[in-house]
Structure 1
Amino acid sequence: MTTTSTLAPEETEPERAVEDPLASWGARAGAFAIDVLLGWAVLATLALVALAAPVRSSLWWSYTVTAAVVVLLMAVNRLVLPTITGFSLGRAVLGIAVRRRGGSAPGVWRLLLRDIAHLLDTAALFVGWLWPLWERRNRTFADLLARTEVHSVPRPQRQVRKIAAAALVAATVVCAAAIALSYTVVYRHERAVENTRAQIAEDGPRIVEEMLSYRQESLQEDFSRAQSLTTDGYRPQLEAQQKVVQETGGVTNEYWAVSSAVLAAAPDTAEMLLAMQGQRGNKTEELKFITATVRVEFEKSGDGQWRVANLTVLKKPQMNVQGQ
């Protein structure tokens, strides 16, 4: 007599003689927090502070490299360690392990597929993460897709709790250090920019007035003072202009700023727009009134003094003879 039996699809795979109990939702959530949320907290912190850092700066690159290291460590913990030891760090602490339906350990690619499939758990308004609360085998959508289950197993003999505590401390230190470094560097940068704006707003017009003004009776002294207000790069251009003035007799020229605005500011550079008025002539009856608009670039020298690095005339001087 021959007996034929039909096995259900789930029973065709070999099963363990004594199956470990299924892991509870709380244990899985705790392991996920250690394995994933801890790393994501570090990445989120690094991303936020990196946004405040100047792009492509040394600080920005240090945050980027640190984030890459964190991602690598998370991948090793989630994908490589389980294939070697049977556990990720979080699962070892909670005493759970990912298994294939037949009870065997999953490989790296199946674990990678499972982690990618967790996007479905999130995309479904997080319903997939809660699915184990009522699914008979306590599986998420990712488990259903990757054909995996999570079981409660004996914890490894290693002192995994101390390792997890060390990881928590390290993550906290990285976050605190990133925030402190960002605050220090960015705050100092912002304060330096604010100081630049305040200094240029106050001293910029005076520097330009002194550089452009000179009197016939003190021509050489005024020219020397003007040269001391410029950078080494701009000084030859100013000297050439002064030479032309000397060749024409050196008519008294006085300027004053009537309005100004700081266009740009950095810790060591600035740019300002000025509307100038002035008068030219050696005798009262020959005075000509002048108006001009200029854009001036400033640089801070090694002694902390602001110097004119470039001056561009946007509106050429217009002169009106007194009495007309």
Structure 2
Amino acid sequence: MTVTVPEADVVADIEATELADPTSAGVTANWPARAGAFAVDVFFGAGVVLTALLVAWAAPLRGWLWWVAVVLAGVVFLAMALNRLLLPSITGWTLGRSLAGIVVVRRDGAPVGPWRLLLRDIAHLIDTAAVFLGWLWPLWDPRRRTFADLIVGTEVRRVEGERPRRRRLVGAVLVALAVLAGAATGAGYLAVYRPALADEQAREQLAVQGPQTVAQMLSYKLATADDDFTRARGLVTDGYRQTLVADQDRARKLRLADTEYWVTDSAVLTSTRDRGEMLIFMQGQRGEAPNLRLISATVQVRFERSGNGQWKVADFSVLARPTAGEPK
């Protein structure tokens, strides 16, 4: 005996099945929905991780900022992994997919476990390596799959039924990520970039002021020796001033002639915002015609910067003693 099932009952059974499993209809998700979900799940978090790693790379190794940046990158990366791999296994959704109304399933519509999701995310590297062609493959693939979907046997389908309402949660997460990225950027600027910029500016100032200061300190004329020596004492630090005064007194006793130095070459050896060291090559002349003699010397000078930004001589070492040439 043949039993005939009314067509209305068949339709009702199908509709009931589709309501019980919203993905059973097999309607694949469009590319904008997938891109939006990926941006929420990966893009914004990856931006924070990348920012934190750049700050850690620029910060002093194992300093406080380095540790903060590394920990921040690790925490955000772990949160991304939990959202992408563990949360779908527990709730069936990631934050981004719940917002877009899509879900990752096997080809037969069965749920996907965390290991297959992990393999799928790793396979996305192939999507990227192929000049991003794999990410665009859903635009013309019949089932809108990426290379990663083809490799691990998954599809992304649209969910027509009930789904979690997580707009506020997603908004809060995105705001938090923006704050973290801004904080990491600000910390990097304040703790790394700005000090480095100040050090570079100080180095440039030292390269200009240092040789001029040394030449003025060593040059004098007998007719204005008192004023020249007083001016020279203002070019050195308090700690070096006593040594300079002793050298000036020695010059008076020896009754040296007019002396003028100029710098022929120089190099900054070390430099911070307040201290620096230079190697300076100098030439000069001493005396008057017809006994005028050329002189040269190589000196290593340590500088300290005063409160008004002027570089002053803090120590002075002669590497090559002044040598006198023939009379002019």
Q: What TM-score, normalized to structure 2? A: 0.70
Report what 2:9 is aligned to: none
Report what 1:86 is aligned to: 92
Q: Which amino acid aligns with 2:130?
A: A
1:93 Cα deviation after fit: 0.9
Report what 1:147 is aligned to: 153
Report what 1:300 is aligned to: 305
Report what 1:174 is aligned to: 180
Aligned-pair identity in percent equals 42
Greater shift, 140-149 or 160-169, is seen at 140-149
Report what 1:23 is aligned to: 28
Identify which of 183, 194, 197 aligns with 2:204.
Answer: 197
Report what 1:229 is aligned to: 236
Please say if residues 298 and 321 of structure 2, whose CA atoms lie closer than 8 Å, have aligned partners that are also in contact. yes
Q: Which amino acid aligns with 2:205?
A: A
Q: What is the number of equivalent residue pairs in this alignment?
A: 301
The 2-side partners of 1:180 and 1:84 are apart by: 37
Identify which of 35, 41, 53 aligns with 2:41.
Answer: 35
1:49 Cα deviation after fit: 5.8
Q: What TM-score, normalized to structure 1? A: 0.70
1:284 Cα deviation after fit: 8.7
SS where residue 205 of structure 1 aligns? helix
1:317 Cα deviation after fit: 1.8
The 1-side partners of 2:260 and 2:298 are apart by: 11
The 2-side partners of 1:65 and 1:229 are apart by: 46
The 2-side partners of 1:297 and 1:89 are apart by: 59
Report what 1:73 is aligned to: 79
Report what 1:263 is aligned to: 268
Greater shift, 75-84 or 188-197, is seen at 188-197
Q: Structure 2 stretches of 5 or more lacking a match?
A: 1-16
Q: Structure 1 stretches of 5 or more lacking a match?
A: 1-14
1:142 Cα deviation after fit: 1.5
The 2-side partners of 1:206 and 1:140 are apart by: 67
Please say if residues 255 and 276 of structure 1, whose CA atoms lie closer than 8 Å, have aligned partners that are also in contact. no
1:169 Cα deviation after fit: 1.6
1:117 Cα deviation after fit: 0.7
SS where residue 323 of structure 2 aligns? strand
Please say if residues 22 and 138 of structure 1, whose CA atoms lie closer than 8 Å, have aligned partners that are also in contact. no
The 2-side partners of 1:206 and 1:126 are apart by: 58
Q: Which amino acid aligns with 2:169?
A: I
The 2-side partners of 1:97 and 1:311 are apart by: 74
Matched, 1:106 2:112: yes
Please say if residues 290 and 320 of structure 1, whose CA atoms lie closer than 8 Å, have aligned partners that are also in contact. yes
